[in-house]
Amino acid sequence: MSGGEVAGILVAVFWAILVSFLAVALARLAQTLKATTKLVADVTDQAVPLLADASSAVRSAQTQIDRVDAIASDVQEVTSNASALSSTVASTFGGPLVKVAAFGYGVRQALTGRKEPAPAKPSRRTVIVGRTVPGTRRGKRK
């Protein structure tokens, strides 16, 4: 065998090994693509019901929000009605009730015929280390 034939055989062997490695790599890539396709199909099968459940949950939440909105508007109406009623009652009965109470107080004072005594003035005391000593006023000493 000549040098050219040996070089040709080496190139052929190298080429065969390279093709074998590429075939193995392509086979593994094909398996990976099959697994990925199966995974995407499974995710799709599970995602569709989840999206349907999420959609129904959002609809239910919207219904509840509508109910709460209706309740809030009713509470606001009741509050304004109560405020109006309170002001009406205060204006209707408040003035005359105060006048009746003042008249009753005046009649009671007139019937008793005496005035309430003025409150007594408190005496000044000197405090010495936590004790109170009665008496001693400034300017008056015995």
DSSP designation for 140:
B
E runs forming strands in the chain = 126-128, 131-133
Instruction: Flag whether pLDDT at 100 surpasses 50.
Output: yes
Average pLDDT on 126-130 reads: 61
Whether 137 contacts 124, CB under 8 Å = yes
Q: How far apart are CA 75 and CA 83, in angstroms?
A: 12
User: In the predicted model, is pLDDT for residue 123 greater than 70?
Assistant: no
